[in-house]
């Protein structure tokens, strides 16, 4: 749907700001067509070290170990080395893409979309999202869509200055990861020195990431995302990947419904990287681990079917497919009067839908800051595309 003020004329911006909207999907709609999603294949993996610097090694790969029950997830809170929240740039993913290309690891040239797994999770789960909207920056270069999350200065400030309670709860998730992981397939000697299993040394700068290729409908995608650990051994593929999650202990039907709703995000987060297993640590409000339960990712849709908190993954895939077709249509039809590639802003508003508009010069500067970039893509990556 195009707005009446749409105008691809030759004026310099503004008012040369094309925009379009895509209506919110109706949840009551009967889904008829099914959109295929290809099983993800890993292209490569990489690690972030203690300084959150990227390296093409598996130094941050962790193995699953059983957590001690009744563990306190508050342990180590005061020693938490916390990664600062920054704008979710694509740079390390683009380094990975560049490396795959140079190694001749598949026809990356045909890739229709490059982004982080979390971005696609946000897009696919939008039909069920009732509270949180999001903004993204998009560039469409030589047939490939690049998507990054757009955080306003206020939002970034909020994330870096969350209140104490929220901060504690966030820590519980990381503490659970630490209880459940070891740098060897069995808990090591050093870990064993600590009576409750680990040293209380959470450093969220350290991450292990997998980069996969997959396909949604007719769009080939390269996605990158953090993987919490592997079970038993690392095969170089996604088949032993494990996602770790915490959630409040379920005490009755309303809790169960809330948990079922939450499973939608757990599902897509894991599904998109081909992670077959999710281990949930249930905790008390004050951070005491009570039980763990293992879920097979592919069984989650059937588990919630017919329940109060039910969701339909096919509806999400269908919506995702319409969303990508909409983007490709709008961005592909735009012809700049010069050779410049614009940055687009996509905005999702719960219960309304999605809108897209081109960013003017001030908007782009707001996104890029003073960095050496073309749009939001790093200059070096842009130069490689030009080669």
- The site for ligand A3P (CB under 6 A) is made up of 170, 173-174, 176, 226, 228, 245-246
Choose the one of ligand A3P, Mg ion, none that binds residue 381, judging by a C-beta under 5 to 8 angstroms depending on kind. none
Choose the one of Mg ion, ligand A3P, none that binds residue 127, judging by a C-beta under 5 to 8 angstroms depending on kind. none
Q: What DSSP line would sit under 347-384, residue for residue? A: EEETTTEEEEEE--HHHHHHHHTTSSEETTEEHHHHHH
Q: How far is the CB of 243 from ligand A3P (least distance, A)?
A: 7
Which segments of 40-163 does DSSP mark as H helices, in order?
Answer: 91-102, 117-125, 153-160
Between the alpha carbon of residue 124 and those of residues 269, 318, 386, the distances in Å are: 10, 9, 32
Please state, in angstroms and rounded to a whole number, the distance separating the CA atoms of residues 176 and 280. 9
Neighbouring residues of 4: CB distance < 8 A, sequence distance ≥ 6: none
N- to C-terminal Cα separation, the chain: 36
Please state, in angstroms and rounded to a whole number, the distance separating the CA atoms of residues 23 and 322. 10
Among residues 141 and 151, whose Cβ is nearest to ligand A3P? Answer: 151
Q: How far is the CB of 66 from Mg ion (least distance, A)?
A: 16
Among residues 265 and 373, whose Cβ is nearest to Mg ion? Answer: 265
Choose the one of ligand A3P, Mg ion, none that binds residue 246, judging by a C-beta under 5 to 8 angstroms depending on kind. ligand A3P
Q: How far is the CB of 372 from ligand A3P (least distance, A)?
A: 29
Q: How far is the CB of 166 from ligand A3P (least distance, A)?
A: 8
Please state, in angstroms and rounded to a whole number, the distance separating the CA atoms of residues 127 and 119. 14
Of residues 181, 166, 183, the one with CA closest to residue 82:
166
Neighbouring residues of 101: CB distance < 8 A, sequence distance ≥ 6: 108, 109, 384
Q: How far is the CB of 247 from ligand A3P (least distance, A)?
A: 7
Tokens describing residue 117: 């797994």
- Contact residues for Mg ion, defined by CB under 5 A: 226, 228, 244
Q: How far is the CB of 237 from ligand A3P (least distance, A)?
A: 20
Among residues 248 and 349, whose Cβ is nearest to Mg ion? Answer: 248
Among residues 209 and 364, whose Cβ is nearest to ligand A3P? Answer: 209
Please state, in angstroms and rounded to a whole number, the distance separating the CA atoms of residues 130 and 349. 9
Choose the one of ligand A3P, Mg ion, none that binds residue 292, judging by a C-beta under 5 to 8 angstroms depending on kind. none
Among residues 170 and 314, whose Cβ is nearest to ligand A3P? Answer: 170
Q: How far is the CB of 159 from ligand A3P (least distance, A)?
A: 8
Cis status, amide bond into 15, omega within 30 of 0: yes
Tokens 């390390």 -> residue: 92
Among residues 228 and 330, whose Cβ is nearest to ligand A3P? Answer: 228
Q: How far is the CB of 153 from ligand A3P (least distance, A)?
A: 18
Among residues 268 and 323, whose Cβ is nearest to Mg ion? Answer: 268
Among residues 99 and 155, whose Cβ is nearest to ligand A3P? Answer: 155
Please state, in angstroms and rounded to a whole number, the distance separating the CA atoms of residues 147 and 127. 19
Are the CB atoms for 109 and 100 separated by under 8 Å?
Answer: no
CA–centroid distance for 279 within its chain:
18
């Amino acid at each position: 749907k195009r707005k009446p003020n749409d105008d691809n004329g030759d004026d310099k911006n503004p008012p040369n700001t094309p925009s379009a909207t895509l209506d919110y999907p109706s949840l009551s709609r009967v889904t008829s067509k099914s959109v295929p999603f290809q099983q993800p294949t890993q292209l490569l993996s990489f690690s972030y070290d203690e300084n959150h610097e990227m390296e093409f090694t598996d130094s941050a790969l962790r193995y699953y170990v059983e957590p001690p029950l009744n563990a306190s997830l508050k342990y180590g809170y005061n020693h938490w080395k916390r990664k600062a929240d920054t704008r979710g740039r694509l740079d390390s993913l683009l380094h990975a893409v560049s490396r795959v290309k140079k190694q001749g690891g598949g026809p990356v040239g045909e890739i229709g979309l490059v982004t982080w797994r979390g971005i696609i999770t946000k897009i696919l789960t939008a039909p069920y999202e009732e509270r949180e909207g999001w903004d993204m920056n998009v560039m469409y270069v030589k047939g490939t869509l690049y998507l990054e999350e757009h955080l306003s200065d206020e939002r970034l400030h909020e994330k870096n200055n969350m209140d104490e309670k929220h901060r504690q709860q966030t820590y519980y998730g990381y503490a659970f990861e630490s209880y459940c992981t070891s740098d060897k397939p069995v808990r090591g000697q050093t870990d064993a020195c600590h009576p409750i299993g680990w040293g209380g040394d959470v450093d969220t700068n350290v991450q292990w990431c997998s980069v996969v290729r997959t396909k949604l409908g007719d769009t080939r995608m390269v996605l990158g995302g953090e993987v919490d650990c592997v079970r038993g051994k690392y095969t170089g593929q996604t088949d032993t990947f494990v996602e770790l999650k915490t959630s409040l202990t379920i005490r009755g039907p309303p809790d169960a419904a809330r948990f079922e709703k939450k499973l939608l995000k757990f599902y897509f987060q894991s599904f998109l990287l081909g992670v077959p297993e999710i281990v949930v640590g249930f905790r008390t409000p004050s951070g005491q681990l009570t039980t763990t339960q293992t879920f097979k990712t592919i069984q989650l849709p059937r588990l919630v079917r017919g329940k109060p908190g039910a969701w339909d993954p096919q509806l999400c895939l269908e919506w995702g497919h319409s969303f990508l077709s909409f983007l490709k249509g709008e961005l592909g039809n735009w012809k700049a009067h010069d050779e410049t590639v614009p940055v687009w802003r996509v905005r999702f508003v719960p219960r309304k839908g999605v809108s897209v508009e081109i960013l003017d010069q001030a908007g782009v500067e707001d996104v890029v800051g003073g960095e050496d970039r073309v749009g939001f893509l790093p200059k070096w990556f842009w130069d490689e595309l030009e080669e």
